[in-house]
Structure 1
Amino acid sequence: MISKDLSSKASAISSPTSSIQKNFKYDVFLSFRGEDTRKNFVDHLYTALHQQRIYTYKDDERLDKGKRINDELLTSIEDSKFSIIVFSKNYASSSWCLDELVKIMECQKTADQAAYPIFYDVEPTEVRNQRGAVGKAFAKRAKEEVAGKWKCALEEAANLGGWELKNTAHGHEAKAIQIIVDHISAELHSARLNVDERFMAMEARMQDVLKGLGLKYES
């Protein structure tokens, strides 16, 4: 018969995975307005991420035929460690983009996910307060039932740390993209090291528990 002390230790074998971070399908989810940035900035950013072996979800690259776009996009946001939001002049005119943004902001509030805004030909204040070009674009959606959620998401996202392209690398787009990719790469490396350390700690705890039970641990 196992003693209460050993029984409680044995139960720990089934629970240490709760301290391990979620295993994400994608490293990065890209949210952007296609008509503004698909064939220029986002195309270059996606290529740079891919070259660094950063697995990135971009809708025209990853959507499976026959699936509902909305369902797959929202699931892909949940399955991404980071989200990069490329705010452009027409971003806020798209209900798809705004729905993505709401989901991104929900997910980034967890400990395991983060979001980074990029301001492409717009300023953070335009996004935050729906003014200027962003305000004009958002006016097309302002009377919809979920407009309140969209406004909150725009404000929250504009307050996150990110990059305003005109002020990054003195406005040189290629250099700015490299800065962004380097930052994401470093964050991913740090996250993976953290997961490895947690697995090592879990393995050590399992060895202690099994030793207490008189059992041999094999990795």
Structure 2
Amino acid sequence: MAFSSPSSSPSLPSISRWAYDVFLSFRKIDTYDNFAYYLYYALCRRGIKIYRDDEDSEIERGEVISPSPTALKAIEDSKIIIIILSPNYVSSWWCLEELTKILKCKEIVLPVFYDVNPSEVRNQRKSFGEALAKH
């Protein structure tokens, strides 16, 4: 009688409950052409599946916007969230809506402080305090 060792048995494809490895949340005006762009492509080169919501590119100034249902679903379907907190992040209603959804349903959230001091975010000072006071 022959026995097969675990190392010789065929491997089963892994089934993930996640549609995306990472959801990338950022303020386009601050980071899209620099940090967010390079981070996105560096992660993609590593084979990491990323959701990046770029739908606000066609929005007219003054138009009321909110995250698309696709973006909100992608938050739920992502294993990890990376939030790039930049000076204008909280001045965007869109970003705040995403952030609300993220904080309600995610445990793994990685903040990146881009051109802001973490204490400005924690203590809601400068651009963060002003924008949050408006909302």
The answer, yes or no, to whether TM exceeds 0.5 is: yes
**TM-score of the superposed pair, with normalisation by structure 1:** 0.48
CA RMSD of aligned residues (A): 1.9
What's the CA shift string for 1:13-68, capped at 9, x where partnerless? xxxxxxxx96100000000001000111000000100000100001128xxxxxx8
Q: Is the 8 A contact 1:122 1:134 kept in 2?
A: no
Amino acid at match of 1:96: W
In 2, Cα distance between equivalents of 1:49 and 1:39 = 16
Q: Is the 8 A contact 1:70 1:96 kept in 2?
A: no
In 2, Cα distance between equivalents of 1:129 and 1:69 = 26
Are 2:126 and 1:128 equivalent residues in the alignment? no
Q: Which residue of 1 aligns with 2:93?
A: 95
In 2, Cα distance between equivalents of 1:69 and 1:90 = 17
Cα offset for 1:124?
A: 1.6
Unaligned runs of 5+ in 1: 1-20, 62-67, 142-219
> Where is the helix percentage greater, Structure 1 or Structure 2?
1
Q: Which residue of 1 aligns with 2:71?
A: 73
In 1, Cα distance between equivalents of 2:131 and 2:86 = 10
**TM-score of the superposed pair, with normalisation by structure 2:** 0.75
Change (3 A) 1:69 1:108: closer
Q: Is the 8 A contact 2:19 2:78 kept in 1?
A: yes
In 1, Cα distance between equivalents of 2:131 and 2:36 = 20
For 2:36, which of 33, 39, 42 is the aligned residue? 42
Q: How many correspondences in the alignment?
A: 111
Q: Which residue of 1 aligns with 2:105?
A: 107
Higher-Rg structure is: 1
* SS of structure 1 residue aligned to 2:68: helix
What's the CA shift string for 1:106-134, capped at 9, x where partnerless? 2224xxxx110000011122112210122
Q: Is the 8 A contact 1:88 1:119 kept in 2?
A: yes
Q: Is the 8 A contact 2:67 2:98 kept in 1?
A: no
Change (3 A) 1:50 1:122: same
Structure having greater relative contact order (Cα 8 Å, sep ≥ 6): 2
Identity of aligned pairs, percent?
A: 52
In 1, Cα distance between equivalents of 2:133 and 2:95 = 15
> Where is the strand percentage greater, Structure 1 or Structure 2?
2
Unaligned runs of 5+ in 2: 1-14, 56-65
